[in-house]
Amino acid sequence: MKWLLCFFIGLIVSLIGFFNNLAVENIAGLKFVVTSNMMLARRFGMAFLVFSVSNLILTLFASIITAFIAPAAAGSGIPEVKAYLNGVDAPGIFSLRTLIVKIIGSISAVSSSLFVGKAGPMVHTGACVAALLGQGGSKRFRLTWRWLCFFKNDRDRRDLVTCGSAAGIAAGFRAPVGGVLFALEEMASWWRSVLLWRSFFTTAVVAIVLRALIDFCLSGKCGLFGKGGLIMFDVYSASVTYHLTDVPPALALGVIGGIFGSLFNFLLDKVLRIYNLINEKGIVYKISLACAISVSTSCLLFGLPWLASCQPCPSDASESCPTIGRSGNFKKFQCPPGHYNDLASLIFNTNDDAVRNLFSKNTNSEFQYSSILIFFVTCFFLTIFSCGIVAPVGLFVPVIVTGASYGRFVGMLVGSHSSLNHGLYAVLGAASFLGGSMRMTVSLCVIILELTNNLLLLPLIMLVLLISKTVADAFNGNIFDLIMKAKGFPYLETHVEPYMRQLTVGDVVTGPLQVFQGIEKVGNIVHVLRTTRHNGFPVIDEPPLSESPVLYGLILRANLIELLKKKAFMSATVPTSIDALKLFPAGDFAERGSGNGDRIEELRFTEEEMGMFLDLHPFTNASPYTVVETMSLAKALILFRDVGLRHLMVMPKISGVRTSVPSVSFFKILPVD
Amino acid sequence: MKWLLCFFIGLIVSLIGFFNNLAVENIAGLKFVVTSNMMLARRFGMAFLVFSVSNLILTLFASIITAFIAPAAAGSGIPEVKAYLNGVDAPGIFSLRTLIVKIIGSISAVSSSLFVGKAGPMVHTGACVAALLGQGGSKRFRLTWRWLCFFKNDRDRRDLVTCGSAAGIAAGFRAPVGGVLFALEEMASWWRSVLLWRSFFTTAVVAIVLRALIDFCLSGKCGLFGKGGLIMFDVYSASVTYHLTDVPPALALGVIGGIFGSLFNFLLDKVLRIYNLINEKGIVYKISLACAISVSTSCLLFGLPWLASCQPCPSDASESCPTIGRSGNFKKFQCPPGHYNDLASLIFNTNDDAVRNLFSKNTNSEFQYSSILIFFVTCFFLTIFSCGIVAPVGLFVPVIVTGASYGRFVGMLVGSHSSLNHGLYAVLGAASFLGGSMRMTVSLCVIILELTNNLLLLPLIMLVLLISKTVADAFNGNIFDLIMKAKGFPYLETHVEPYMRQLTVGDVVTGPLQVFQGIEKVGNIVHVLRTTRHNGFPVIDEPPLSESPVLYGLILRANLIELLKKKAFMSATVPTSIDALKLFPAGDFAERGSGNGDRIEELRFTEEEMGMFLDLHPFTNASPYTVVETMSLAKALILFRDVGLRHLMVMPKISGVRTSVPSVSFFKILPVD
């Protein structure tokens, strides 16, 4: 059953990914073809108008649907999914409307020539699909399928979301193994070996479906959808040989990547905080901000190529020069026939094509130093300023473009001293900037390999990634963690801080202690639920139910609310038979879809009901994990993370003798509970 | 500091791996060149004699050093390392003599034309290097370095061993990413994200060092060491395109791989059990068994090619045919000039060269059906019978050869209906047999990609791996787990069996309960240590030390023995000041090198000493993990595996009231403790 779900996740995500690419390639391609044709006719003003207005409309559309319909779809979504897998459930991140806005918004944002990517939104999309399938459809829109409602517990839901995010990367980059590793390394807080296999299965489905769809497209039925298919930057060249002399430039690239990466993270964090201030002022501000970014991007993209001088076409070019009517290495722009504008080839192009140009081999003399530098600076800052707008925007591709541009620059500086061609330097540059900003190792390495389809570069890519990550880690954290912090998600790190060794769990227990009796008065329960925000409560058996006060177990807020809703109250404090559980269909106590839980404030009770009793025993988890209050905080944190707990009970060291009530406290590290 | 250690592990393991390959290529190559020259001179009897005697000598050497010097070096070592990482410490697996025997024995076993691999022993070698470096050298041989003795606790040791085994695969297959994933998926029971990065670093070092060494070898200074370098089966061909029609054969290969793989595991398990019976009879039996296998292998390898008919050389062969004086696709064997023996090309060759031949492209008409079938059957059974001999032998390469042979056979059957060449079918066959016997997914996928250097096959390889694993899992378990069971290691599975949900931890607690007082009489401690085999004991504070009996913590057997050795006894039951800990250098309580602990039987005490007291408080772990006795066994198992525990204390539900001694029990799932 789970396998079937994984199969569907893979299938749907790959279809979405393919559709996404198809739409972007066609919309953006059409836009560039129309503008280029106007440029050919030397109607430059008109070309600029068409270019900037179409960009503005696309951006406006993306930001309006995001702001009005599903604000949770803004940004890349990776931090949200990561936080969810850590146990932090942000409202609305997995609803159907978020999914739809994410897909459509991402297509129009990417098509609008902003410096934004579509891989991040694909991860969120994959996670969304998984969560929706896992809860059997969307409740709000009555699209539920009974037979899909098998997985109602938290653990299965999280597993599916992990598989979904793996599928997202697999579909976004056509990198199935990279997707699994990304989910493992970056996303998941909690991992089982079964999960490895299941996510591998999901991404395998994605890989096979995509392969079949691309086969279909190769027959030319997909409009402007290029031959490369998706973003596969093929740097496949039969003779990658390199020697020890190529190691120093690679080391240099690693260091540069680390410095730029941490600077990028630092600036992005600052800009996001400023944007947050602007966005708080209202929807109009949000949308104006997006429009401002769009207009300035259009101006830069159209204006900057005029700075570059026209180059004569190389006589030995393998493709037509200048390229007319399609994407290619040599953009004509404003140049006379037989010449091309190298900056326009990079900047007045989709990001994917820019990367393809930078990675291309046998083009060592294509670019001028100044063009590459201008391109790098533009990319770097436009990426930072575009990331925080209210639309579904990713970071992967812009980071790859930026990295590739300075990589190519370093390659040009090294020149003939190296046996590597400049395209390979661009790959290494992209690796270093990814490593410096995202700080992953194995997964980035595999993703880059799968993107570039060249395994012989592997040792150098590993070297570059290690160095850039090490350098950047000296300055600040991973970009997703920074965004997560900026968004205020209380993420529980694996890392044990030194101060935690000094504290005991007793020091951080959340108070005040709220305890229920095994058979509790309805009024008490309602009062406690209304006055606290705890999500779990200890249940104590006291005399006469037991000889001495003893901890019976832990009951969850959601279950209590469900019980109160059913109003199966008793008039006396006599224990019910264990069959009470059978009165309720199992689904009622299942994990809710995110954000769909009832709230205590919505329930109303009569005076009479408030005086009645509830037997909590059948609904209590009778063997919760417990620790003694003197345990060090560090150890409790390890327990929390490694076992994937949501609640942990803290027991006093000496119990039952001094006081009649064992002072069981309720403890939470996860602040959302 | 840990990074430096990882660097050294990577460096040493890659040097060993390189040396290993160099030695094998030269010894085996020399043997084949000499024999082939004799064959050319048509002195067939002499050739057979030289071939079989040199094989016998090499096997004899490998089995003698293994049997007499380091029996722990027999087999692949992967099950032992896996068991160690699970917490089961087999005697002598990480000693210096095991390491040396493993390296030399593996070289001679592989050179002796047995159907054994060198990747498995490389994993053990890597783990050994890591463990030895981690404990600062070998105590027995006085090769210790003070500055390396930083990592004395169990967790750091395990982390290093994990990195070491990743480095082993990386060096064995030149597959750095595959190595990390192998360590993650197959070896480690307990994984942290830091470890991912550290093992990635280790394998990056391996990749870079190997790359440099191969560069050095390309200049021709390494004797018969081939151009391919290590076992890198390059199936790099510019035009891998496949269509939906290629999927059915791939599915069929997956199913075949699953069936053959599970059959292989089943037979191997049976044969290992029979061998165990033989081996138990004594060293002479062990060595005779190895010799018998060697002689029959030699006979088969030399005899079977006579069954195959000579083929005329193809006119369009890209390399010389027949190949003379070096390894190549077309072995002459007994054939007249201008002809070659296709079976000899496969069977009368090193395994690496056989794989290379099977994977080679543009050789679709090289092999006959009968030759491939004979080769497959020979490989299959020789691998099974060679695996259990008393020498360091691996399984990876024989499994790859076997899988590649039936893959090629299927490719020949499909023939021109497919757009894939037969070499790619051999790759898929190897993948299916690996998947069917070893049951890994992501790591095998990446290892195969890195071995064959062709990313475009990825979707098909994923498909084949998934199907073969699924089919094979229906019959029996992973081959390493089977070997581990046959060797009697008590491995703790992650998987929760259904019956565990019915049991509580109270049901499986090990008795009898042995408790120490906070200040305990030496005689009692000695008595308890001598009469039980528990490795940890609860420490209880009773009145007058505390108001009521209360659990103070857990003390380990090793620490008690250390305390007894120091004889820092007190004459009265007065608590010492906390400074007692300072009397001992920290190193005394550090984790011992494996198997080096003192034993209680070796300690002697006077009557007077037996009457004195020991204050256990400073040496007790005051916050051990505890569970209540009613917790389900399944939950306790999850706690054990996920947190990586060795001991777990079980508390009674109601304490302190009914009896004066809280009945704290000691509980272990890990049977080795």
Q: What is the DSSP string of B607-638?
A: HHHHTSEEE-GGGSBSS--EEETTSBHHHHHH
Q: Which residues of chain A from 470 to 509 reach within 8 Å of chain B, CB to CB? A: 494, 504
Q: From the list B200, B453, B639, which residue is nearest A643 (CB)?
A: B639
Q: How confident is the model over A279-338, as pLDDT tens digits? A: 888 889 999 999 999 999 999 999 998 888 888 887 766 666 776 656 666 777 788 888
Q: Which residues of chain A from 266 to 285 reach within 8 Å of chain B, CB to CB? A: none
Spell out which residues of chain A touch residue B247, defining contact as CB-CB under 8 Å.
Answer: 208
Q: From the list A207, A247, A441, which residue is nearest B458 (CB)?
A: A207
Q: Do B185 and A177 touch (CB under 8 A)?
A: no
Closest-CA distance, B530 to chain A, in angstroms, reads 31
Closest-CA distance, A30 to chain B, in angstroms, reads 29
Q: Is A110 helix (H, G, I), strand (E, B) or coil?
A: helix
**Neighbouring C-beta atoms of residue B660, cutoff 10 Å:** 10
Q: Do B453 and A453 touch (CB under 8 A)?
A: no
Q: Do B657 and A658 touch (CB under 8 A)?
A: no
Q: Quote the pLDDT of residue A467.
A: 93
User: Among B96-100, B240-244, B360-364, which is the least confidently predicted range?
Assistant: B240-244
Nearest CA in chain B to A452: B455
Q: What is the mean pLDDT of chain A?
A: 80
Tokens of A619: 């609904």
Tokens of B523: 């005689």
- Residue among B405, B383, B421, B477 nearest B120 (CA): B383
Q: How confident is the model at residue B112 (pLDDT cuts 50, 70, 90)?
A: very high
CA gap A250, A407 in Å, rounded = 9
- How far from B312 is each of A446, B316, B330, B340, CA to CA, in Å? 44, 12, 10, 6
Furthest CA-CA distance within chain A: 98
Q: What is the pairing mode between strands A137-138 and A143-144?
A: antiparallel
Q: Is B515 helix (H, G, I), strand (E, B) or coil?
A: coil
Using the Cβ of A453 and the Cβ atoms of chain B, whether some distance falls under 8 Å is answered with yes
User: How far does CA A446 lie from the centroid of its chain?
Assistant: 18
**Neighbouring C-beta atoms of residue B455, cutoff 10 Å:** 23
**Neighbouring C-beta atoms of residue A402, cutoff 10 Å:** 29
User: How far does CA B65 lie from the centroid of its chain?
Assistant: 20
User: How far does CA B272 lie from the centroid of its chain?
Assistant: 16
Using the Cβ of B177 and the Cβ atoms of chain A, whether some distance falls under 8 Å is answered with yes
Q: How confident is the model over B484-529, as pLDDT tens digits? A: 888 888 777 777 777 777 777 777 766 667 778 778 888 888 888 8
CA gap B477, A599 in Å, rounded = 48
CA gap A177, B166 in Å, rounded = 18
Q: Do A441 and B466 touch (CB under 8 A)?
A: no
Q: How confident is the model at residue B57 (pLDDT cuts 50, 70, 90)?
A: very high
CA gap A427, A547 in Å, rounded = 71
Nearest CA in chain B to A654: B550
Interface test with B, best of A235, A462, A643, A661 (most B CBs within 10 A): A462
Q: Is A590 helix (H, G, I), strand (E, B) or coil?
A: coil
Query: Is this prediction's ipTM beyond 0.85?
Result: no
Highest mean pLDDT among A446-450, B359-363, B566-570: A446-450
For every residue of B72-102, DSSP letters joined together read: GG-S-SHHHHHHHHHT---TTTTSHHHHHHH
Rounded to an integer, the average pLDDT of A518-522 is 81
- Residue among B413, B86, B5, B472 nearest B257 (CA): B472
Q: Do B192 and A494 touch (CB under 8 A)?
A: yes
Q: How confident is the model over A39-91, as pLDDT tens digits? A: 888 888 999 999 999 999 999 999 999 999 998 888 888 999 998 888 777 77
Matching residue, tokens 């020091």: A507
Rounded to an integer, the average pLDDT of B157-170 is 92
Q: Are A457 and A424 in contact (CB under 8 A)?
A: yes
Closest-CA distance, B640 to chain A, in angstroms, reads 9
- Residue among A364, A336, A362, A358 nearest A345 (CA): A358
CA gap A548, A605 in Å, rounded = 33
**Residue ranges of the alpha helices (H) in A335-457?**
342-347, 351-359, 369-386, 396-414, 422-438, 442-452
Q: Are A145 and A130 in contact (CB under 8 A)?
A: no
Q: From the list A192, A462, A551, which residue is nearest B494 (CB)?
A: A192
- Residue among A292, A293, A342, A333 nearest A314 (CA): A342
Q: From the list A247, A450, A550, which residue is nearest B455 (CB)?
A: A450
Q: Is B282 left (phi over 0), alpha (psi -120 to 50) or beta?
A: left
Interface test with A, best of B192, B462, B464 (most A CBs within 10 A): B462
CA gap A347, A365 in Å, rounded = 18
- Residue among A3, A62, A17 nearest A165 (CA): A17
Q: Which residues of chain A from 364 to 403 reach within 8 Å of chain B, CB to CB? A: none
Which residues, 6 or more positions from B659, have their beta carbon under 8 angstroms from its beta carbon?
none
- What's the number of CA atoms in the CB half-sphere (13 Å) around residue A339? 12
Using the Cβ of B441 and the Cβ atoms of chain A, whether some distance falls under 8 Å is answered with yes
**Residue ranges of the alpha helices (H) in A591-632?**
607-610
Q: Are B333 and B39 in contact (CB under 8 A)?
A: yes
- Residue among A159, A176, A251, A240 nearest A14 (CA): A176
Q: Are A420 and A246 in contact (CB under 8 A)?
A: yes
CA gap B196, B203 in Å, rounded = 11
Q: From the list B193, B642, B654, which residue is nearest A550 (CB)?
A: B654
Using the Cβ of B608 and the Cβ atoms of chain A, whether some distance falls under 8 Å is answered with no
Q: Are B345 and B331 in contact (CB under 8 A)?
A: yes
Spell out which residues of chain B touch residue A625, defining contact as CB-CB under 8 Å.
Answer: 627, 635, 639
Rounded to an integer, the average pLDDT of B566-595 is 57
